[in-house]
Amino acid sequence: MNAVVGGIARYPVKSCRGAAVSAACVEPWGLRGDRRWMITDPDGEFVTARTVHRLLLVEPTPVDDGLVLRAPGATPLHVPEPAGGLTDVVVWRDTVAATPAGPEADAWLSAVIGRPLRLVHLDDPTRRPVDQDYGRPDDRVSFADGFPLLLTTEGSLAALNELIADGPNAAEGPMSMVRFRPNVVIAGTPAWAEDGWRSIRIGAARFRVVKPCGRCVLTTIDPETAAKGREPLATLARHRRDGKKVLFGVNLVPDTPGATIRVGDPCEWEVRGP
């Protein structure tokens, strides 16, 4: 099939808004500039939009020396990339050393969200390994949930939206791909084809497809309004359940760091054996 890259997105700050890009350099731990910043509570425990929905309204824009943060009703804040003064933060089961962004960024986020928060930067992304049940000893990941990249397909989204339209929560559909926060979206494949992929080549970049992505409550939060609904989890739970998990998309680990992927790049894949 004539499958191509239909979209690429980066999320500079974990759980905040992302931005579409036409091309991105693939680093060992993910796309360059993706999820190298994270928000924590005062004790260093990561905070996400799963519980603090308004984080989805925070828009970080990368600049040469750091970030500019924007949010409705707030004055934009320039946050320089910090240096030195490492502190331990916790993301899922991992404790990782990161650099605090400083009191001005902390105060801005705390005022926007309405609770004490801190912003940290992962200055050295080699510190955090991927889940060794699925990766190799030298595989690394930034502040993404577990793996360097998430891939979804337009065919699977179309199929999901058809299922939602035929279900009890049809008024909530259709879902946009932004709900799933993928790094790469592939166009031109049948629905759920990615379930069987073992590896994929995108342009000159090669990736291992290490596992399907289990989805969480974050997908039920409207990224434009931060309002919560039931979909797409309710429909995924009926049609895409694997034990306690519901699935949409697949996790990737790069095998050719330094390559650049672009919208429109052709894609080829290897399927898993029986």
Round to whole Å and give the CA distance between 163 and 239. 9
At 111, which CATH number?
Answer: 2.40.33.20
**Separation of alpha carbons 30 and 27, rounded Å:** 5
49 is in which domain, residue-wise?
A: 4-271
* Pairing state between β 59-63 and 66-70: antiparallel
DSSP 191-257: TTGGGGEEEEEETTEEEEEEEEEEP-GGGGB-TTT--B-STTHHHHHHHSEETTEEEEEEEEEESST
Per-residue pLDDT of 70-105, as tens digits, reads 999 999 999 999 998 999 999 999 999 999 999 999
pLDDT in tens, 129-164: 999 999 999 999 999 999 999 999 999 999 999 999
Question: What is the total count of domains within the chain?
Answer: 1
Task: Indicate whether 209 pLDDT > 80.
Answer: yes
pTM of the model: 0.96
Tell me the DSSP string of 61-130: EEETTEEEEE-TTS--EEEEPP-S--EEEEETTEEEEEEE--HHHHHHHHHHHTS--EEEE-S-GGG-BP
Bond prior to 232 in cis (omega within 30° of 0) = yes
Please give the angle made by the CA atoms of 272, 30 and 197, to the nearest 5 degrees. Answer: 10
If residue 4 lies in a helix (H) or strand (E), which one and from where to where? strand 4-10
